Every structure is written in C-alpha cells, then in structure tokens.
Amino acid sequence: MPRYLVIGGVAGGATAAARLRRLDEKADIIIYERGGHVSYANCGLPYYLGDVIRDRNRLFVQTAAGFKNRFNIEARVGAEVISINRGEKSILVKDLAAGEVSAISYDKLVLSPGAEPVKPPIPGIDADGIFTLRNVIDTDRIKKHLVEKKPKKALVVGGGFIGLEMAENLHGLGIGVTVVEMADQVMANLDREMASEVHQQLTSQGVELILKDGVSSFEKSGNEIVTRLSSGREISSGMVILSIGVRPDTKLAKEAGLALGPRGGIAVNEFLQTSDPDIYAVGDAIEFMHPLTKQPVITFLAGPANKQGRIAADNIVGGNTKKYCGSIATAVAKIFSLTVASTGANEKMLKVSGIPYLASITHSASHATYYPGATQMSVKILFSPSDGTLYGAQIAGYDGVDKRIDVFSSVIGRGGSVRDLIEFDHAYAPPYSSAKDPVNIAGFTAENILDGLTRTIHWHEIGGLDPTSAMLIDVRTAGEFKTGTIPGAINIPVDELRSRLGDLPRDKKIVIFCAVGLRGHVAARMMLQSGFDDVRNLAGGYKTYSLAVNNIPGTVGACC
Ligand code: FAD
C-alpha cells in the first residue's frame, strides 16, 4: 500500500489529497498542515473581516474530521513539517502543541506550502496593530483588533488585490482608509490607464490613495501607529495592513536541496515533478513557464493551485501522464462597485519579453443601452502586429466583466487571435449583452488596426506631439468639448467634419479623439478616404486619456 504525504492542507494540498484518494482507495494519505485548519477559503478572509461573510464557519470548506469521514485521509493540523530526508524518503514532523517531533516515510510527497507575505526590515514593523493577512490565524488576530480596539483609521500598505480588498472591507466597517503604494499605480497586473479606473473608484468611494510613496518607519504612539512615508508625510492610524506582496514559501524545499527556479519558486517539470522524481510541488510555491512569454512565472492564484493539485495526483497514481500547460493568470477583483480583471500578458510583461504588440482600448456597454441598467466597461487587449494572436486582456467595469474576461482567457489559452473575437458567438438578449458584445467590439477594433483601416495613438504619446506638425481635433459635440478637453485641441464635431475638411491642413499629423473612440474612428476613416495621409484615432478616447494622465483621477475635472 503506497503512502502519499501532502505538505500544506489548503488550496493545492487539499485538492491533491482528495484526488489521490479518488484515484487510489487503498493508499495511506496524510496531510500535514501547520495552521489550525485545512481546506479553508483564503479568498474569503477579507470579506469575513468586513462582516460581508458573517459566519466564520463558512470559511471552512472541509475540516480534518470531514477529510477522515469522507476520504479516509488523515489531516493533521498544528503539524509542521520541519525537514525532508530525500535519501531515506521520510519527513520530520513537529506537533506544534505537544512539541514532539516524529519521522514518517513516504512513497510520494506533494509540496503545497503556499506563499508568505513580504515583510521588509522597516523600523517598527513588528509593532502591535500591524498585520499581514495570509491565513485564519492572521484573520482572527485582525478581527480581535477590530472588535476590541475599534480603530477609526486604517492604513493599507500596498495596492495589490489583497490590500485593496482589505481597504474596501475596512471602509465598509466605517473605518477611514488610506492606501499607500510605492508604484505610480495600484494592481501591477493592470496597465497604467486601466489601473487609473481603480484609482478613480477608490478615491470616489472616499479611500485616500497615496501613490509613489513608500513607508520608511512605523512607531507606536499610544493606541495609534504613526507611519512615516519616504516623502516625510506622517499618517496616524489605529491599525496597519501590510500587503506589500508575497513570495513563494520554499524554505523546506531549499533545505532539502530541491532545485529552485530563477524567480525563486520551486522548479517543476511539465508533470509538476520537482528535481526529485518522488516529490511533486504545486501552488503558490512553484514556478513554471508562462505559456505566452515563455518566461518563468509564479502565479499567486487559487485556480492554478487547485488545477495543479489535481494534475500532480493524477501523475502520482497513474505515472506521468498529465502535463501542466501553465497558467495565463486570469484574475478578477471587486473594488467597491468596480470589477477589474486581467488575463494573459500585460504591456510590461510583453516589453520585458521583447514581444512586439499592438494595443486597442474600447469602451462598450455591458448590455443593450435601451434596456435599463447598462453600464460601460473599458476593455484593453494586446495582440500580435503580424498575425493578431491575442496576448492579453484587461477589463474594468461594473457588470459582466467576469464573463468577458473568461472569454478572452479561453481565446488566449488556445492560441486564438483577435479575429476569433469577432466570431465569438455569444448569447444575446437585451438584459445580458448587445447584438455586438464587448468581446466582438474589441475584436472589430483590433482587426481595423491590424488591417490598417485605422491607426491609433495612445494616451501617453499625446504629450510628445509637436503642435507645429500635429493637430488635435476633438470630434465630440460643442457641449462635451466645454466640459474639458485635451490642451491644444480644436473642436469639430464629427457631424460637421465632412463639410470642414477643406479648412484642415494636409501636411500635418491629425490626431482625432472623441469620448471613447467610436466617433473618432468614423472621423478618421472619413479623413483617410479624403486624402489625409497621417490620421490617428486616440485609443479609448478622452475617457482613457483623462483617467490615465491623472494619477488620482478623482481630481480630473471632466470625463465623458
Ligand atoms: P495555500 O492555500 O496558502 O496553502 C499552503 C498551506 O501550507 C498553508 O496553510 C501553510 O500553513 C501550509 N504550510 C506551509 N509550510 C508548511 C509546513 N512546513 N508544514 C505544514 N504546513 C505548511 N486567489 C485567487 O485566485 N482569488 C482570490 O480572490 C484570492 N484571494 C485571496 C485572499 C487572501 C487574503 C489570500 C491570502 C490569498 C488569496 N488568493 C486568491 C490566493 C490563493 O489563496 C492562493 O493562491 C492559494 O491558496 C495557493 O494555494 P497553495 O496550496 O499553494 O497555498
């Protein structure tokens, strides 16, 4: 009877163990989890802290007793694996309550130790009231602080998705929240103009957002923590959530001499086997080749961890038959009423990988605008200039973002192109979509770019235009123009443009923009077909431009 040991009993580990049992009824299967709980919902922790999930028990998908009853799997909680002896194929386990250490042998071992929050050596970082959020123990500590200390202000350090989910949930409890982020944008998975939509959402909800500033020290002052920023600014708050990022928890693997990859994660082959053939590894702790960029990556996401757990179990029981093809890190987050999602590669990743790309930005309605409740979503896609292969997509909106991002993910996952987006055969009735879905519209626009029907210019290129050789034309209505425009632009509404073409210079670069890009495209086509050679349409229109040129878009005067 083989013995399979699993280290880490949450996303990847619990999945691997349950799948192992479904494939091998006879095996001896033991999960070791150093925390107090197995198979809990990390992703639900911010919402429990914000009282959105009120019953703590709802966080526990499966218990140790449940594992025993249903799967005949021993799930040992409070049990930390302290070393792996690969020569003897055994591990040393410490019972954290009793302090006892015991050895146990294995036939196959699965590592799913997850990731640990980054905690840089900032003076005062260990002060009472400063928290990281990784597990139920952290959650209970934060909850206790919220209940007992009733902080009125909270500082969230780091604008990643966990930090922002915490910001929203603390804000929902009536706590004043400040988010400080060292980069010039939150959510590194998004490109700048898409992150700007998140900035606007945060500030419009009353969250103070400080960008391009880092923490230099923390100091306890009574019940408050005084956080000093690099800029010299001081922020006093009743609690601090540190959410600066996570790194793969590779201590055990490293000490056991398993190979690590260039990004610092546990190296695995396509079968999720480590450098030791009897040890498999899954989840946040591993790195693998990104399917598009072919660069090593680590994804800190629950979906890949669960899928990898299943594949590792299949390969352990059935021999190495199932290949892991990598993850394009499809992700979604709720930031107050905004939903932001991304899949595949963003501009930064493509640049670093030296992959040429084109970008298009469209703003489409979530469903038919004549049916009540339609909202606009911003869709950015990145694709190959040579054959239109879709590389990445990012969406920010209020409704239907999750379903669209999954469509993009599916097209990218099978190597599809922007032309597949045009053909995407979607379900349509007015409450759900339009006859042309936002996915189709992204495809139409990208195809126009690819086929040379339209040439785009991006928001960050506008500042570099030379007024002596370029002319900016705002083709929105006079009323829209009055609410704010790009400095230097003249206003010729699209419906008047045809009759005024004779007034416009033919020796200049013409940059056209409208609210979101559609009227701009109509105008650009009109001009190109009327003998104007160098005509560009501003991608995403004035909406994208005005959001992106301001780091904190809540301060922008007008936006269409
Ligand atoms: P984990 O699920 O973290 O499990 C690792 C376990 O191993 C830990 O419980 C740890 O105690 C245990 N362990 C480590 N070393 C040892 C040892 N030596 N001995 C015994 N036990 C050990 N992802 C999403 O896709 N969507 C979300 O919305 C989302 N929200 C999140 C919110 C929060 C607050 C957090 C913390 C994470 C969130 N994630 C989300 C990320 C997701 O939870 C992780 O990607 C996923 O859990 C990784 O699975 P894993 O098995 O690799 O690690």
Question: Residue 35 and residue 301: Cα distance in Å, rounded?
Answer: 19
Q: How many CB atoms lie within 10 A of CB 174?
A: 8
**Ligand 1 centre from 122 Cα, in Å?**
25
Contact between residue 247 and residue 115 where contact means Cβ atoms under 8 Å apart:
yes
Annotated active-site residue 559? The verdict is no
Helices (H), 395-473: 401-413, 418-423, 438-450, 459-462
Residue 344: both structure tokens together? 């595949």
Pocket test for ligand 1, best of 10, 74, 280, 405 (most atoms within 8 A of CB): 10
- For every residue of 187-253, DSSP letters joined together read -TTS-HHHHHHHHHHHHHTT-EEEES--EEEEEEETTEEEEEETTS-EEEESEEEE-S-EEE--HHH
End-to-end CA distance of the chain: 67
Atom of ligand 1 nearest to the CA of 12: 51
Separation between Cα atoms, residue 492 and residue 235, nearest integer Å? 48
The answer to whether 219 and 226 are in contact (CB under 8 A) is yes
Q: Ligand 1 centre from 548 Cα, in Å?
A: 33
Q: Is 305 in the pocket of ligand 1 (CB under 6 A)?
A: yes
Residue of 5, 32, 42, 104 best suited for mutating to test ligand 1, as the one with most atoms within 8 Å of CB: 42
**Residue identifier of the C-alpha nearest atom 6 of ligand 1:** 8
Three-class SS string for 495-550?
HHHHHHHHHCCCCCEEEEECCCCHHHHHHHHHHHCCCCCCEEEECCHHHHHHHHCC
C-beta of residue 231 within 8 angstroms of C-beta of residue 180: no
| Per-residue confidence in pLDDT tens, the chain, 560 aa | 999 999 999 999 999 999 999 999 999 999 999 999 999 999 999 999 999 999 999 999 889 999 999 999 999 999 999 999 999 999 999 999 999 999 999 999 999 999 999 999 999 999 999 999 999 999 999 999 999 999 999 999 999 999 999 999 999 999 999 999 999 999 999 999 999 999 999 999 999 999 999 999 999 999 999 999 999 999 999 999 999 999 999 999 999 999 999 999 999 999 999 999 999 999 999 999 999 999 999 999 999 999 999 999 999 999 999 999 999 999 999 999 999 999 999 999 999 999 999 999 999 999 999 999 999 999 999 999 999 999 999 999 999 999 999 999 999 999 999 999 999 999 999 999 999 999 999 999 999 999 999 999 999 999 999 999 999 999 999 999 999 999 999 999 999 999 999 999 999 999 999 999 999 999 999 999 999 999 999 999 999 999 999 755 433 332 22
